[in-house]
Structure 1
Amino acid sequence: DELRMVYEGLPDFLEQVSANENASFPFSLECRKAPLIVYVHQIGYLMCFFDEKISEALLIGLQDFEFAFSEDGEERRFYYHTQKTRELDNLLGDIYHKILDMERAIIRDLVCRVLQFLPQLTKAVNFAAELDCILSLAIVARQNNYVRPILTEDSILEIRNGRHALQEMTVDTFVPNDTKIRSAGRINIITGPNYSGKSIYIKQ
């Protein structure tokens, strides 16, 4: 949390440091935009000059300046290592990635602690899933007036006012059907004209 607070306050802090550095230059810089000290992830702190690179003549008076790289875009930027940016590197370091490393370490530690209770957690999740299924079936049964079947070892299938659970939701009127199949044979044949409900009757 302390590192994150420092990171969130970094823009204001660097703006103040930049103002102090600009005031300490041994000469006046005629720049459209004042140089800024910026923080670049995985690189560190750099002094950024805009539009034009510092001339070799001016660099003689800035012996601690070391050119790092340039960047093209809407405005050209030239980045330098300075004594102050090196101090910031030593003081703060790559703060963003420090935060990421600490977060990863915390997450790894949390995962290891949670995995110690994996059997109990798995049992609890399975119980919750089973309970969710039972409650869902109970709610649907009450809403649609379903009934629990009576199981028997006899070779008989008897349905009274049977309905197709999905088909009846797609039509305005659904006519329930009775079904009685006894052990007279292993095959039953349903006949009737097209669109008379044979398929729905079988699926119910």
Structure 2
Amino acid sequence: MATIHERHQTVECFVQTENQPTVNQIAGALSHMKNIPKVLQTMSRKATINDWRAILEFVYYCVKISNVSQEIFVGVSPVIQEIQRYFAVEELMNMGTNINDVLDFDESVIEGRCVVKRNVDEELDSLRMNYHGLDVFLSEIAKEISVTIPSDFTSIINVIYFPQLGYLITVPRNPEWKSEEDYQLEGLTVQFSTDSTVYYKNATMRELDEHLGDIHGLIVDREIDILQALQERIIENSQFLVTCSDLCAELDILVSLARVARLHNYRRPTMVEGTILNIMNGRHPLQEMVVDSFVTNSTQIGGMDQNSAFAPTVMTGANTDSRSSETGDARVENRVTILTGPNSSGKSVYLKQVALITFMAHVGSFVPADSAVVGITDKILTRMQTRETVSSIQSAFMTDLQQVALATRMSTARSLVLLDEFGKGTTSTDGAGLFCGVIEHFARLNEEDRPRVLATTHFHELFENDLMDLSLPISLYTMEVYQQPDCMEATFLFR
């Protein structure tokens, strides 16, 4: 209950008009965040430039959220208080500064690997200086070598550096060279050839290999050492980052619930420990989006509410015992409700909206209703619809029976049971008997065990032939239909 209240309190804070600029900034910051626990998991093996960018953006937007959230001045948000308590801004900024000072993101994208910035490590800068000065140095070497080879190749000889292969002398391949013997040049040893070039080594190249070495490899190794040290610092703070990520995930959900509540005029429900379910002018959160106008409906199952304005359309039978005609109290204590009405009159949508409003209230969302008092619910057990499929080894009716059997076994006083036309999958006499038996089973349970039950049915013979014991605490309702005299067509009012 405490957790649900905290979520409702946060959503209520976020829907306030005065807080909308701040909430929008928070939502914008959250949209840039990646799955940090997953990034940290992959980073422990091998960090890519995208992983580093994800961590850098995460710490940056965490700092932004921490700063922006201080501008919320209407209402109190527990999750914001948690963020202010756990987001160590200085620590986050230090992590972001370290990453930003070490990694060159633009160069990393070009080279397809993680590249360290200049002026981070003197040894690395020295290696890079030698590497970038190779072109001029190798041109001078090429001039010296050209003096020692036949004059035919003096103008076309070149010296290059290949990572892993070292320093090589290149000569354009003569079209007349057919075999390896043709490639031989005095003082040079053939290494390999391509369609256009022959590559050689001599004593000078081997001397360069020995003294200068594989500069590119040394650069990469040094960068790996620097990044490894940075990576270890990040991994040391992984638990702190995961905690921040969890808070951001919770904040993301609550911001989303608040924006939807504001957009569709949802209201904060009142959560109570009892078994009451009192919804005033409830709506189906999805159905109302696909129709031109949605007819609201109220619901009251169980509990006792002296001030309730709930008034059912039709109410007959034993439920008059739970409504005082003398005082006019709008009190409904019955926990079992049966709803009848023709097809397409809105019965199934009504059942689903009751379940969805109950569910939304429990996850911390505002609900599509003018008001709602929702008792803590442990289960929502349903027999709503069964999909026919040849892949199932049992009939649709057997599936219905299993669902209802599960509801009878698992339900408690805190449960909500929804039955949509149970029994229609078999003969009408058997179906009516099954439906009647299940409803009377729930109605005869002790107060300590009886769940809140909302059921729809087409079995009018239950009432016409007095098959059901209406002395039990059962409320009866029907969907309103308007029909003009001497007219076969009916208009559904969805009430």
Change in Cα spacing, 1:26 to 1:111, as seen in structure 2 (3 Å) is closer
SS in 1 for 2:272: coil
Distance of 2:144 and 2:351 partners within structure 1: 86
Name which of structure 1's ranges 162-171 and 142-151 shifts more when overlaid on structure 2. 162-171
Aligned counterparts, 1:8-23, within 5 A? 8=132, 10=134, 12-13=135-136, 16-17=139-140, 19-21=142-144, 23=146
User: Is the Cα contact below 8 Å between 1:67 and 1:81 reproduced in 2?
Assistant: yes
Partners of 1:44 and 1:93 within 8 A in 2: yes
Aligned to 1:132: 252
Give 2:349's aligned residue.
200
Give 1:142 deviation, angstroms.
1.7
**The one of 110, 117, 122 aligned to 2:237:** 117
Greater relative CO, 1 or 2 (CA 8 Å, sep 6+): 2
**Does 2:178 align with 1:28?**
no
Q: Is the Cα contact below 8 Å between 1:14 and 1:38 reproduced in 2? A: no
* 1:152 alignment counterpart: 272
- 1:81 matched to 2:201: yes
Judged with a 3 Å threshold, the aligned counterparts in structure 2 of structure 1 residues 192 and 50 are, in CA distance, closer, same or farther, namely: farther
Q: Which amino acid letter does the alignment assign opposite residue 263 of structure 2?
A: Q
Counterpart position of 1:104: 224
SS in 1 for 2:233: helix
Tell me the distance in 2 between the aligned counterparts of 1:112 and 1:105.
Answer: 11
Question: What is the CA–CA distance in structure 1 between the aligned matches of 2:235 and 2:224, rounded to whole Å?
Answer: 16
Shift of 1:51: 1.9
Question: What TM-score, normalized by structure 2, do the two folds share?
Answer: 0.35
- Tell me by how many angstroms 1:56 deviates: 6.2
Q: Residue 78 and residue 170 in structure 1: after superposition, are their counterparts in 2 closer, same or farther (change >3 A)?
A: farther
Partner of 1:40: 162
1:50 equivalenced with 2:199 (yes/no): no
CA distance in 2, matches of 1:83, 1:170: 82
How far 1:139 sits from its partner (Å)? 2.3
Identify if the C-alpha distance between structure 1 residues 100 and 57 changes in structure 2 by more than 3 Å, giving closer, same or farther. Answer: closer
Give the aligned residue type for 2:152.
L
The verdict on how the C-alpha distance between 1:85 and 1:30 changes in structure 2, with shifts beyond 3 A counting, is closer
Whether the 8 Å CA contact 1:14–1:37 is kept in 2: the answer is no
- Separation in 1 of the partners of 2:286 and 2:204? 73
Matched residues in 1 for 2:350 and 2:137: separation?
A: 77
Query: 1:112, CA displacement in angstroms?
Result: 1.6
Is the 1:38–1:46 Cα contact (8 Å) retained in structure 2?
Answer: yes
TM-score (norm 1): 0.74
Counterpart code for 1:66: T
Structure 2 counterpart SS, 1:203: helix
Question: In the alignment, residue 148 of structure 1 is paired with which amino acid?
Answer: R
Within the candidate set 39, 61, 67, 2:190 is matched to 67
CA gap 1:78/1:146 in 2 versus in 1, 3 angstroms: same
Question: How many Å separate the matches in 2 of 1:119 and 1:57?
Answer: 62
SS at match of 2:271: coil
2:285 is the alignment partner of 1:165: yes
Q: Which runs of 5+ in 1 are unaligned?
A: none
Q: Distance in 2 between matches of 1:110 and 1:158?
A: 57
Q: Which letter maps to 2:350?
A: Y
How many aligned positions are there?
A: 195
1:38 touches 1:48 (CA, 8 Å); kept in 2?
yes
Gaps of 5+ in 2: 1-117, 119-124, 303-332, 354-495
